[in-house]
Structure 1
Amino acid sequence: MKIYNNLKINHQTGKMLFFLQLMLFSVLGFAQSEQTEFIQYRGEVVNEQNGKAISSAYLSLNNSNISTITNSDGEFSLKVPKDMTDATVTISVLGFQSKTLPLTYFKARDTEIVLSETVEELTEISIFKATDAQSLVREMLDRKDVNYLTDQSLMTSFYRETIKKGWSNVSLSEAVVKISKSPNNSAQRDLVSIYRARKSTDYNKLDTIALKLRGGPFNTLYLDMMKYSEYVLRPEMLNSYKFSFDEPTKINDRYTYVVDFAEIDHSDPWYYGKLFIDAATSSLVKASYSLNVDDRDAAAAMFVKKKPGGSKVYPVELNYQVDYAQNGDDKWHYAYGKAQMEYVVNWKKKIFNSRYKINSEMVVTDWERFTDKNWRKTMDLINPNIVMVDDISGFYDSEFWGNNNIIEPEKSIQNAIDKIKRKLDDN
């Protein structure tokens, strides 16, 4: 085993191990955010054809680095500085035609944005030149120093982590984080500092165990395939994967190859999924993939770090997603990461098992080129093994996030926040 910043990597497969930690762990501090004048817009992105909500739609304020993303209910919240109210916003998502709207279209609440599905035939040979899927993936990796940001950046991101037992939310963590993002051609690891955070856990519903996910924001940050290709698609191991073309598509009105990939060796848990590669630049713009964990014993050995006596704990589903966005110089950068994990806990003296779903996601809401050489000395950096400590006070403050853009809470999360507030009132 190699160890990178206390996060364990399997040396032979390159798999990153998101450890489930069944015990109490660590502490985490946070600072206050600065307040500036802004205008907040809220609304929903829906499908023109059937009116259904569109999740993971990316909203980008043009001529700036400000952005956000819709939640699973298609809802968004976008905070814009008052001196930028004459700007425009581009809304894009896989499978739909992008749309650019002036900020004057947006309202304080109940803004409805309608997107049309992409119906254009995309199989013309004149558009798509690549004929070998593995060669395209290799070119994608070889060109990462050309297609992606080559300067160190300071990114502001919003991170959310939820733990559900059955259908009930039992733990909710949220944070605004600052990331010193190193370029892909640098061996330096990314650094993370918590800027503002809040968390609440209902330990009465956790079967007497404190179920926590080690890694916090790093779990989504390390999904950046172009920076951390050693975790999934190491160039020297491409021959251990099978690659094939799926039907092409469009993302943000750009022609995009879709490459299916799967590991050939199934003796250990193995990756499979889809890569969305920009046809013009061979840039990875999106990846959606999973880890097959049918071998329960092998999966438990890889992902469960500690567990209580008399129990068997193993993952049954592990899904990941990463998205990239372009800046004004047509360079791509990490924009969004999501990990969805489901675990089963079998107790020796209990008839029924317990199922836990752990979702973590992070969206880059703003970024700038790194100019402060003393940043590392002045910030309280967190360890990749961090587990966020409980602090429920922030849920009572409606202005807790200030001018920071966040992912709008989905309905189940909002219900959990409302319950936390009622508990605070009762106390």
Structure 2
Amino acid sequence: MKTIPERKYFRAIIFALFIMSPLWSVGQPSPQDTLRIMSFQGTVLDKWTREPVVFANVYIVGTNIGTVTNTDGGFMIKVPRRYLNRKLGIACLGYKNIEFPIHSLNPVGNRFEMEQAPIPIREVMIVQSDPVELIREAIDRIPENYSSEPVMMTSFYRETIMKNRTFVAVAEAVLETYKASYKPLAEGDRVRIYKGRKSEDLRRLDTVLLKFQGGPYTAFLLDVAKNKGNLLMPDFENFYNYSLVGNIEVDDRLAYVIEFDQKDGISFPLYKGKLFIDMDTHAFVGMEFSVSPKMIEHATPYFIVRKPAGMKIEVQDANYLVRYRLIDNTWYFSYVRAELRIRSRWRKKLFSSRYTIVSEMAVTDIDPGNVVRFRMRETTRLNDVLEDQVADFEDPGFWGEYNVIKPDESIEEAIEKLGRILRRRAD
């Protein structure tokens, strides 16, 4: 029997009325932080097309410290001075890895070019060519491919809301996570907010403020290797059609590319997308998926927790990206991004509003040695709203030595604009 999937595996959104909150500005390392760290900024481009290489892993070789490039290909990484003699590594799906000595980099303006990786001619499509069997083997090998013991993760999380073409809200946080093991029947992850900040322009939100519910916690739910949900459910082959379509290079390793979509006749929304499975370890190294267009018109109840009476809400699409990184022969959850587009219209009104909601999280450090299983009352949960848990800041050194995801140019402009609005209100 095909049962309806639980809503917690979909992106949860909550509508609330008449909520007020001020604004904040972007920060840089304080003078005290620069005694311990050095900050480097750069842009990663495709060598031939000159297009930005987005969501690439940027890391200090031989450590667990890293970040990702944004949609402009830009990044900023803060390097402890004890690691200045190491190399900076950059890896991205479909590209050859590159490394550069950190001491040769400039504080800003670094430009890196990556070459697309040609796939060597091998008989990789013949051996184990059944995609369902490949997925089953990848699921069976999860306990050996991913961490068998809990680790501590530090990560940077950001969520943004755009109304039509204007950013109206941004919230960010540094998260500490007790990342439970991938053993069968292992406990769940525990996520707590170390520090965070937010900004909003309520005038552009009319009478309705759109909020995320469970943002940081939901980011870890999208670790599909641990929380299989409706993507890797036990009888997954009954719900999806699969096709092995090729191979791609990931972190100087070859991976199978498996495309999938929900089967016809399924009466509730599932997913369409790609799975990337490492050829040697059979680990899931990445996923890219969306709510299937076949049932997107039925997806709205899975996303909207509450809305005002008289308002019609329509989810137009929901897209997800998940990445893992190999460190010392173990694969770790490293990056997740979710993007939701919805349209809203008040009854008896002619025009509608379009919202684009994006959340992303990059794991910036992993510590397997100092594991702390903090208390549940310290954690953020599925029904929490990040904007209600963090304050408003203007401290230019707010993030200190913590690595963050460098804002896209459009987000930086939005932050500056929201900051000007705050200053005018303060006057």
TM-score (norm 2): 0.90
1:319 paired residue number:
319
- The 5 Å alignment of 1:323-402 reads 323-328=323-328, 330-369=329-368, 371-373=370-372, 375-377=373-375, 380-389=378-387, 393-394=392-393, 396-402=394-400
Aligned-partner SS, 1:290: strand
Q: Could you tell me whether the CA contact under 8 Å between 1:262 and 1:273 is conserved in 2?
A: yes
What stretches of structure 1 of length at least 5 have no aligned partner?
1-9, 28-32
Q: 1:106 to 1:413 in 2, by over 3 A?
A: same
1:13 equivalent in alignment to 2:32: no
**Following the alignment from structure 1 to structure 2, what is the Cα–Cα distance between the partners of residues 113 and 37?**
25
Q: In the alignment, which of 108, 129, 132 is matched to residue 134 of structure 1?
A: 132
| Counterpart code for 2:94 | G
**1:296 Cα offset (Å):** 6.1
Cα distance, 1:294 vs structure 2 = 5.5
Match of 1:200 in 2: 199
* Structure 2: gaps spanning 5 or more residues: 22-29
1:285 aligned residue = 285
Which amino acid counterpart does residue 143 of structure 1 have in structure 2? R
- 2:235 is matched with 236
**Where does residue 408 of structure 1 map in the other structure?**
406
Tell whether the 8 Å contact from 1:304 to 1:314 is kept in structure 2 after alignment.
Answer: no
Aligned to 1:252: 251
Give the CA deviation at 1:372.
4.4
Q: How many aligned residue pairs are there?
A: 409
* Larger CA deviation: 400-409 vs 127-136: 127-136
Q: Distance in 1 between matches of 2:229 and 2:10?
A: 12
Deviation per CA, 1:211-249: give whole Å up to 9, x if none: 111111122211111100124211233332211111211
Equivalent position of 1:307 in the other structure: 307
- Summarize the Cα distance change of 1:101–1:297 in structure 2 as closer, same or farther, 3 Å threshold: closer
The answer to whether the 8 A contact 1:180-1:370 is kept is no
Give 1:378 shift: 9.8
Residue 14 of structure 1 deviates from its aligned partner by 4.9
Cross-structure match for 2:71 = 72
| Counterparts of 1:127 and 1:138, CA distance in 2 | 17
Moved more, 147-156 or 256-265: 256-265
Residue in 2 that maps onto 1:174: 172
**Percent identical across equivalent pairs?**
32
Distance 1:140-1:407 versus aligned 2 partners, 3 A rule = same
Indicate yes or no: 2:16 matched with 1:23: yes
Letter in 2 for 1:354: S
Alignment-mate amino acid for residue 407 of structure 2: P
C-alpha distance in 1 between matches for 2:126 and 2:74 = 34
- Name the structure 2 match of 1:30: none
| SS of equivalent residue, structure 1 residue 229 | coil
CA-CA distance at 1:292 after TM superposition: 2.2
The answer on whether the counterparts of 2:214 and 2:380 sit within 8 Å (CA) in structure 1 is no
Higher relative contact order (CA 8 A, sep 6+): 2
- Structure 1 window deviating more from structure 2 (43-52 vs 262-271): it is 262-271
Q: Is the contact between residue 170 and residue 206 of structure 1 (CA under 8 Å) also seen in structure 2?
A: yes
Provide the residue aligned with 1:273 in structure 2.
273
Deviates more, 1:353-362 or 1:95-104: 95-104
Contact 2:20–2:202 under 8 Å retained in 1: no
1:108 is matched with 107
Shift of 1:269: 1.3
Distance 1:319 1:378 in 2: 30
| Partner SS, residue 398 of structure 2 | coil
Asked whether the 8 Å contact 1:154–1:179 carries over to 2, the reply is yes
CA distance in 2, matches of 1:144, 1:331: 10
Task: Work out the CA distance in 2 between the residues paired with 1:321 and 1:261.
Answer: 15
Kindly state the Cα deviation for residue 157 of structure 1 after the two structures are TM-superposed: 0.3
Displacement of 1:17? 2.9
- Quickly say closer, same or farther: Cα 1:370–1:236, change in 2 above 3 A: farther
Counterpart of 2:209, as a letter, is A
Which AA in structure 2 matches 1:267? S
- Cα pair 1:122 1:249 within 8 Å, conserved: no
For 1:215 and 1:146, how far apart are their aligned partners in 2?
30
Give the TM-score, by structure 1 length.
Answer: 0.90
Alpha-carbon distance change, 218 to 293 in structure 1, aligned in 2, over 3 angstroms:
farther
